[in-house]
Amino acid sequence: MGNVVVVGSQWGDEGKGKIVDWLSERADVVVRFQGGHNAGHTLVIDGKVYKLSLLPSGIVRGGKKSVIGNGVVVDPWALISEMDKLRQQGAEISPDNFEIAANATLIMPYHSELDGLREDATSAIKIGTTRRGIGPAYEDKVGRRAIRACDLISRDHIEARLNVALAHHNTLRKGLGAKLVNGAKLADELMKLAPTIMPYVKNVWRTLDDADKNGKRILFEGAQGTLLDIDHGTYPFVTSSNTIAGQAAGGAGMGPAKLGYILGITKAYTTRVGEGPFPTEQDNDIGQYLGEKGHEFGVVTGRKRRCGWFDAVLVRQSLTIGGVTGIALTKLDVLDGMKELKVCVGYKHKGKTVDYLPYSMEDQASIEAVYETMEGWNETTFGARSWADLPAQAIKYIRRIEELIGVPVALLSTSPERDDTILVRDPFQD
């Protein structure tokens, strides 16, 4: 019985929430290890819908410990609001079942304001930020001027860190023509929320080490997707953290040898929110059909997702970089009723066919998808819970995807309901 890391293999929105919830029933500890409240998970449990953006998915299940690791940037106001909403839905949240890493960076109001100021000020490339302060908070972290959860221990700690941070931020704001931040007022606000946050602030590396030594199953929950990774994604149209499986070690405080099975959540077609390259995008009736049938709108932002065919080249590249053991294929039912399906098997680039996505923006913009066409199916896959329930053509589609990406399907999701899942291989027992 090992640990499991869950990551997205595309541009996020692959359906990680349901899969993580499905796995969390088998886990003892669920850990968020990167990102912030810019990525949402939707869980459907016994007909009740939970929308999470920061808290680990295990928080809505009794008997689990949920952990926010040091690799996450935490907006304390957003966290308190999310906790309150979940409590109203019946979730139990206490220091006994929820912990925040003492060394996790906090998102301040000036971070989200800076996000918007920059995006509005530039006339060049628009990144498509969610304006929640994620990027600026990570900048402060690596710039060694961040305020961390442990700093909420006293006003002296808060003021000392704010002096360092605001020496930088108020200079930036002055240049952008924005009102300067009042450090004393912000310190007052932080002191007001500190009593609510501090009971949850712990050395989570020790919590995880103890759990592992005692044979507990740990589920590492990633946000966004590999193609949004700050290093390996479609830069600069990426998020501000590493989203690949390897980040689970550094972002939670556990050695990489203890990560275990790496599960890549993979949508049966492709979607993307915001700007950036998208080789298989269908800005036509097909894309509109996929978006409407798949309910492709962002959980956090509500933004409409761009839709297109499955890109085996990009997924194979993501799985290779992430060292993925097996995939969970999601939203297969959205393809029901389509007469033919296309899968990208290569790119045309400068007169040649290549089997990878180049890193430069210019090269990415100039590639053209090479497709393989497959027959669709008229029968429904919605709610299927065994291979015998699947149409023959749907099985052929799945097997062809496995061949192209070089990684087997471990789980198959056929609806938003957690029990509508076909288990091929249990990641916790592999």
Q: Decide if 226 contacts 218 (C-beta within 8 A).
A: no
Does the annotation mark 96 as catalytic?
no
Nearest-Å Rg of the Cα atoms of the chain is 22
Write down the catalytic residue from 21, 28, 37, 41. Answer: 41
Write down the catalytic residue from 13, 75, 212, 420. Answer: 13
Phi, psi of 314 (to 5 degrees): -65, -45
Closest CA relative to residue 322, chosen from 179, 193, 222: 222
Does the annotation mark 13 as catalytic?
yes
Rounded to the nearest angstrom, the gap between the alpha carbon of residue 94 and the centroid of all alpha carbons in its chain is 24
∠ CA 270-345-233 to the nearest 5 degrees? 50
d(CA 189, CA 202): 22
Please list, in sequence order, all residues whose beta carbon lies within 8 angstroms of the beta carbon of residue 118, skipping any fewer than 6 positions away: 176
Q: Decide if 232 contacts 244 (C-beta within 8 A).
A: yes
Q: ω into residue 236 within 30 of 0, thus cis? A: yes
Phi, psi of 95 (to 5 degrees): -60, -15
Q: How many residues does the chain have?
A: 430
Identity at 271, one-letter amino acid code: T
* Catalytic positions: 13, 41
